[in-house]
Amino acid sequence: NAGVTQTPKFQVLKTGQSMTLQCAQDMNHNSMYWYRQDPGMGLRLIYYSASEGTTDKGEVPNGYNVSRLNKREFSLRLESAAPSQTSVYFCASRGTGELFFGEGSRLTVL
Amino acid sequence: QQQVKQSPQSLIVQKGGIPIINCAYENTAFDYFPWYQQFPGKGPALLIAIRPDVSEKKEGRFTISFNKSAKQFSLHIMDSQPGDSATYFCAAITRSWDNAGNMLTFGGGTRLMVKP
């Protein structure tokens, strides 16, 4: 019973490089989310997808893009990474109840 | 502007102590207040949640106290254990929770260490 799976778990990028964080859930949830976690800031919503085929901006979307590939998968892309994007990224999914989070992806941008 | 303010940022207690984590909110439309527990290297997981029509909710050793007039709520951990060492987040959201775009607003987190 995997729940929400994120890859990669760790990544180091140089400024200006691009990368995609992958997320998949096996709970048949409609809604999926991407958060970033920074010390003292809690979790802040980057983008979300209410259902397959739809995506919307959250609180801190600048510098990111997302794709809801199908009901299971929701990816987050950094087109040109910046040091300010150094963070831990969490994917989450939700059916009609609570949020379920993945284990996180720690990204460092040098 | 952080709509949910959480304190303290870190807390150290001895085993058996009762750590208390406090949160204050501004938006009176919030009507659902969950707490999440996060262990190192893991994602947050729902611990306990309360709605403002009750002043207290207990689940095992974890208790939420809610003060609607003061717009504050707190988490108490009774008989704390080293295994409770984790980061705790409070959060708040409005009743339109079924709308996926309705965002949970998180507090800044409290890192709790329970010493043996």
Over its length of 116 residues, how does chain B's per-residue pLDDT go in tens digits?
Answer: 568 999 999 999 999 999 999 999 998 888 889 999 999 989 999 999 998 889 999 999 999 999 999 999 999 999 999 999 999 999 998 766 556 556 788 999 999 999 99
B77: β partners: B62
From the list B46, B98, B108, which residue is nearest A42 (CB)?
A: B108
Short-list A42, A44, A1, A95, CA closest to B36: A42
Residue A36 has pLDDT above 70, yes or no: yes
Residue scoring higher pLDDT (B102 or A21): A21
- Which residue does chain B place closest to A3, by CA atoms? B43
pLDDT: is A95 or A12 the higher one?
Answer: A12
Residue A2 has pLDDT above 80, yes or no: no
B108 in A contact zone (CB under 8 Å): yes
Name the amino acid, one letter, at A64: Y
Res. A96 pLDDT band, cuts 50 70 90: confident
**pLDDT of the residue at B102:** 66
Write out the DSSP string of A33-90: EEEEEETTTEEEEEEEESSTT--EE-S--TT-EEEE-SSSBEEEEESS--GGG-EEEE
For position A81, what pLDDT does the model report?
96
In the predicted model, is pLDDT for residue A99 greater than 90? no
Which of B9, B42, B106 has the CB atom closest to A43's CB atom? B106
* pLDDT (0 to 100) of residue B36: 95
User: How much is the pLDDT for A16?
Assistant: 97
Distance from the B99 Cα atom to the nearest Cα atom in chain A, whole angstroms: 8
Mutation test of the interface with chain B: which of A43, A54, A57, A89, choosing the one with the most B Cβ atoms within 10 A? A43
Q: How confident is the model at residue B31, as a pLDDT?
A: 85
**Calpha distance A65→B71 (Å, rounded):** 36
pLDDT in the model for residue B98: 55
Confidence (pLDDT) at B100: 56
Q: How far A14 CA sits from the closest chain B CA (Å)? A: 23
Interchain contact, B108 vs A94, CB within 8 Å: no
Question: Which of A27-41, A78-92, B2-16, B92-106 is least confident?
Answer: B92-106
The pLDDT, as a whole number, for residue B61 is: 97
Q: What is the pLDDT of residue A98?
A: 82
Residue A33 pLDDT exceeds 90: yes
Q: What is the mean pLDDT of residues A98-107?
A: 93
Q: Cβ atoms within 10 A of the Cβ of B48, count?
A: 17
Which chain B residues have a beta carbon less than 8 Å from that of A98?
A: 34, 46, 49
**What's the gap between Cα A38 and its chain centre?**
14
CA-CA-CA-CA torsion sign (B56, A33, A51, A22)? negative
**pLDDT the model gives residue A84:** 96
